[in-house]
Amino acid sequence: MKRQLMVFVKQVPDTKNISGEAMTPEGTVNRSALPAIFNPEDLNALELGLQLKERYNFKVTVATMGPPNAAEVLRECLYRGADEAILITDRAFAGADTLATSYALSCCANAVGNVDLILCGRQAIDGDTAQVGPQIAEKLNIPQIAYVEEVMSLSAKAIKAKRAIEGGYEIIESPLPVLLTVIDANEPRSASAKGIMKFKKAKTRSEIHKLMRDADYTDAQALADKENEMKAKNLWIHEWDAAKIQADVNRIGLKGSPTKVKKIESVVLKAGKVVSIEPTEAGINGLIRELIEDHTLG
């Protein structure tokens, strides 16, 4: 059997363009109001995973936790060469902070089983916390190497990786299994045309059922036949809920989250009392004179 590695990825709102309408009164974000993108450093983690697949013949399983439409990032992974995809989705996961998220993802890793390596992007651009990776490692009671730039070597039992430290780098050795958080140090490959052709048809059960309903095929046999056909063609995206990954309901979602949001405020840049300076010699001389007079300069 092939050795197995997992990559956890996340679909994130494009945080560069957030309007007030995207916030709910409870202070959580209405993600559907924002364009969803593949979290940038998760693409670096996927790239590293795919390179390891090529070097060491791993099977690459990708997983994400999110709403049903997060299946899109999993298809993006399949386009690039991932072998199997899992969507962890359940209303019970909603409102999770990093502790509840990492618990759920660690349950998923346990449900997959026999994983030598887990890769995550260092952080997601919606929260920028960089906490979920190390917390998954702790929940699984395995070592972690954060800020990985590249894998130097890998044996059956150990890994050597180069990772960033303050003002430099270090080469660190760890036994397997281990979790790596990956930084923006490789060039993520694009989706291949061949990959897109094949895997744009890859679907979760919910997606298949919706397609069938829309086409008025609703009898159980037709649904079961379609599911089997998709599985046989390797176009099946697993859809796992809290029960499937054997998650304790008290440790997931809002219930499993120690941090509560007290207040959310939009950032307002302070009102402009800017003094306009003409880009002429006279204008600039005047400015410099003023700054020297008030002892800012000189």
Residues 271-290 that bind other proteins (CB under 8 A): 271-281, 283-285, 287-289
Task: List Cα–Cα distances, 183 to 115, 146, 151, 237, in angstroms.
Answer: 21, 8, 12, 27
The answer to whether 13 and 126 have CB atoms below 8 angstroms apart is yes
Q: Does 147 bind other proteins (CB under 8 A)?
A: yes
Phi and psi angles of residue 212, each rounded to the nearest 5 degrees, phi first: -65, -45
Question: Among residues 139, 182, 186, 204, which is the contact residue for other proteins, using CB under 8 A?
Answer: 139
Q: Does 224 bind other proteins (CB under 8 A)?
A: no
Q: Which residue has the tokens 């880009």?
A: 279
Q: Does 99 bind other proteins (CB under 8 A)?
A: yes
Q: Which residues contact 272 (CB under 8 A, 6 or more apart)?
A: none
Q: Which residues contact 206 (CB under 8 A, 6 or more apart)?
A: 68, 239
Phi and psi angles of residue 178, each rounded to the nearest 5 degrees, phi first: -145, 155
Q: Does 101 bind other proteins (CB under 8 A)?
A: no
Residues 252-271 that bind other proteins (CB under 8 A): 254, 257-267, 269-271
Q: Does 291 bind other proteins (CB under 8 A)?
A: yes
Gap between the Cα atoms of 157 and 160, Å rounded: 11
Q: Does 110 bind other proteins (CB under 8 A)?
A: no
Tell me the closest approach of the beta carbon of residue 70 to other proteins, in angstroms.
Answer: 18
129/234 with CB nearer other proteins: 129
Q: Does 54 bind other proteins (CB under 8 A)?
A: no
Tell me the closest approach of the beta carbon of residue 82 to other proteins, in angstroms.
Answer: 26
Tell me the closest approach of the beta carbon of residue 21 to other proteins, in angstroms.
Answer: 13
Q: Does 39 bind other proteins (CB under 8 A)?
A: no
Report DSSP state, residue 162. E
Q: Which helix (H) or strand (E) holds 251?
A: none
Residues 166-205 that bind other proteins (CB under 8 A): 166-175
Question: Among residues 6, 9, 13, 47, which is the contact residue for other proteins, using CB under 8 A?
Answer: 13
205/251 with CB nearer other proteins: 251
Tell me the closest approach of the beta carbon of residue 2 to other proteins, in angstroms.
Answer: 25
* Cβ count within 10 A of residue 166: 4
The answer to whether 199 and 235 have CB atoms below 8 angstroms apart is yes
